[in-house]
A = this chain, B = another copy of it.
Amino acid sequence: MNLVTLCSGGLDSVTLAHLLHSQGHMQELLFIDYGQRHITEYHYAYKCAADLGLHISDVEIRGQIFSSALTDFDVAVPSGEYTPETLSTLVVPNRNAIFANLAAALAVSRGYDGIALAVHGGDHEVYPDCRPSFIASLRRFLEVSTGISLEVSTPFVHRSKAQIVEIGLGLNVPFEHTWSCYKGGDKHCGVCPTCRERIAAFEGYEDPTEYER
């Protein structure tokens, strides 16, 4: 199949691109810049494209439409584990829906078969737009909005982040070419919620990530 794979340069979406590649699917990566606090992610998405020899497109969304610690410099990135409180500052409302619809537009423009998203099981509780019910609804919605039965590939929707690491290790994914930290910088901070989640996912495996702390 020909797919548009949303790639943020993170562990999940880079592993997804490697998995689909290993299965023989053709892909165009799509990176979406929605005003993240740092552009580190961008470089890692491009590294993924280079590693796999794939074309990567990017879309920029600008405007004060999103409000969260991921985009606003006046909202502090929380440290420590995810809690209901820290999570509420990290939710960008309807983000995956917007990204999936942009990917679908690109897929239709190019005449591809569908899109691929790295939503995974660990995000279900927090983000409505990562749940299996969202994917099912998205599939039906895109069929109506584009008039085409687009494939929506989400092989990780029932996997934990630790399982994604396991899959990635089996595929020799260069995890040092992936980025998770919300804070940017030269190294992963090691203390923000997504760094802690990354560290936990590598438990029992060799983690090639350099952490500040």
Contact A62 B60 (CB under 8 A): yes
Contact A106 B57 (CB under 8 A): no
A66 at the B interface (CB under 8 A): yes
Shortest CB-to-CB span from A53 to chain B, Å, is 20
Kindly report how many copies of this chain are found in the complex they form together: 2
Cβ-defined partner of A105 (8 Å) among B94, B106, B146? B94
Give the residues in chain B near A58, CB-CB below 8 Å: 63
Contact B109 A93 (CB under 8 A): yes
Question: What residues of chain A have their CB less than 8 Å away from a CB belonging to chain B?
Answer: 30, 57-67, 92-98, 101-102, 104-106, 108-109, 128-129, 131, 133-134, 137-138, 140-142, 144-147
Contact A94 B145 (CB under 8 A): yes
Q: A60-B61, A137-B140, A140-B140 are in contact. List 18 more A-B contacts (CB 8 A).
A: A57-B65, A59-B61, A60-B62, A61-B102, A65-B102, A65-B105, A66-B109, A93-B104, A94-B101, A94-B108, A94-B146, A97-B141, A97-B142, A98-B98, A129-B144, A129-B146, A133-B144, A137-B144
Cβ-defined partner of A59 (8 Å) among B62, B105, B133, B144? B62
Can you name the residue of chain B whose Cβ is closest to the Cβ of A143? B137
Contact B61 A61 (CB under 8 A): yes
CA distance A138 to B128 in the complex (A): 15
Give the residues in chain B near A61, CB-CB below 8 Å: 59-61, 102
List 7 tightest A-B contacts by C-beta distance, closest first. A59-B63, A93-B108, A128-B147, A97-B145, A94-B105, A141-B141, A137-B144
Give the residues in chain B near A142, CB-CB below 8 Å: 94, 97
Shortest CB-to-CB span from A184 to chain B, Å, is 22
CA distance A96 to B147 in the complex (A): 13
CA distance A146 to B60 in the complex (A): 22
Give the residues in chain B near A57, CB-CB below 8 Å: 63-65
